Amino acid sequence: MQDILTVTLNPAVDLSTSASEVSSGHKLRCATPEFSAGGGGINVSRAIRILGGHSRAFVALGGNAGQRLQTLLSDEGIAEIAHSAPGETRTNVAVTCDQTGEQFRFVMPGPTWPDADCAKLLTRLNAMTNPAGLLVLSGSLAPGMPTDFARTVIAALKDTGPSILCDISGRPLHDLCAAPNPGLDVLRMDLDESEEIFGAPLSTRTDSARFARDLVAGGVSKTVIVARGPDGSILASETGCIHVTALDVPINSKVGAGDSFVGAFTLARARGFDLATALQHGTTAATAAVTTPATELCRKVDFERYLPDCVLSDITL
């Protein structure tokens, strides 16, 4: 199996708790908090482990919170590669109201990265990559990192040789889609993100396929994936466009579906499966993830049960 390296540039210690009510003006007595390691790349590594694979997690860590996060990863059995961040790793807080079931999420920005630290990160990351491996860049950039930093990472690793998959959002995603990226192998986004970039609704599978195909033709990425939620996933490459159906399953929480997709897709590629099969694996894992509560990712038993029914088909444009 190929080596997998996930990259999390702005991780977090996620603190979750609950209170009988959440309102202003007085102290809120909370339940004993639970702590977990959070961040896009970390979740991808977690999904890979759940599905029986192995990856290394490159994580930027700083301060006491960074040490706690490192311990949390070790306790989970995730092989982390710690890189020194220029400040304290952020702690995010989620409080659930027992009376209403509503969850209030407080997301911190994380430490600010000066240019010199960004340059050091690129050098270290280059040294950690396996030329024959897979690299997953997932999650948010840290404050101080320029909007085009994902593009910079891809360009810096282009000659090193790893196959790069990128799953980011917001302005950095728009930046990636604005120009060719010769070193980018797979770019994934969801339907809302693709419509924002396109500037209009993508109502049908064919609409999404044309959008993804045009990005491939423009050199943005060799492969582009658009996740259409309950309507499955679209993949466009130089050889054509394919679709995988998602199943009609009870939805408990959509949180973690994207990371489960990327974990399963990457693991399939690392095991030597073609793009179509990897798309099927990713879509199945995302389907499994929405059936689990809160932030829990996919479960292997559900993934194996759903896999035969997530059907592949070609899209003719």
What is the per-residue pLDDT across 250-259, written as a single tens digit (0 to 9) for each?
Answer: 888 888 999 9
Our answer to whether residue 259 is catalytic in this structure is yes
Mean pLDDT of 13-23: 93
Flag whether pLDDT at 269 surpasses 90: yes
Averaged confidence pLDDT in the chain: 95
pLDDT of 154 strictly over 90: yes
Pick the CATH number of 187-317 from 3.90.1150.10, 3.40.50.2300, 3.40.1190.20, 3.30.310.160: 3.40.1190.20
Angle in degrees, 0-180, between the axes of helices 205-217 and 191-198, rounded to the nearest 10 = 60
Query: How, if at all, do strands 34-38 and 186-190 pair?
Result: unpaired
Task: Locate the domains of the chain by residue range.
Answer: 1-16+33-184, 187-317
Q: What is the pLDDT of residue 59?
A: 98
Determine the pLDDT at residue 294: 78
Residue 171: band (very low, low, confident or very high) from pLDDT cuts 50, 70, 90:
very high
- φ/ψ of 64, rounded to 5, equals -65, -40
SS3 37: strand
Note the pLDDT tens digit of each residue in 286-306. 999 999 987 889 999 999 999
Average pLDDT over residues 8-31: 93
Q: What is the model's pLDDT at position 20?
A: 94
**Of 283, 316, 312, 253, nearest to 94 (Cα)?**
253
**């899209």: which residue's tokens?**
315
- Residues 252/289, Cβ–Cβ less than 8 Å: no
Rounded-to-integer distance, Cα 270 and Cα 263, Å: 10
Phi, psi torsion values for 51, nearest 5 degrees: -90, 10
Distance CA 193, CA 199 (A): 10
- Show the CA angle centred on residue 122, arms to residues 120 and 124, nearest 5°: 70
Please, which pLDDT band fits residue 130 given cuts at 50, 70 and 90? Answer: confident
* Residue 49 pLDDT grade (very low, low, confident, very high; cuts 50, 70, 90): very high
Do domains 1-16+33-184 and 187-317 share one topology? The answer is: yes
Angle subtended at Cα 166 by Cα 245 and Cα 301, rounded to the nearest 5 degrees: 45
Q: Which amino acid is at 136?
A: V
pLDDT at residue 146, rounded to an integer: 97
pLDDT in tens, 205-245: 999 999 999 999 999 999 999 999 999 999 999 999 999 99
> What separation, in Å, do the N-terminal and C-terminal C-alpha atoms of the chain show?
34
Give the pair of three-digit tokens for residue 292. Answer: 């689990």
204 pLDDT above the threshold of 90: yes
Beta bridge mates, 136: 6, 165
Q: Output the pTM of the full model.
A: 0.95
> Between the CA of residue 211 and those of 152, 154, 164, 172, 194, what are the distances in Å?
24, 22, 21, 18, 8
The one catalytic residue among 259, 274, 302, 314: 259
Is 1-16+33-184 in CATH node 1.20.120.1200? no
Predicted pLDDT at 251: 87
d(Cα 188, Cα 233) in Å, to the nearest integer?
Answer: 10
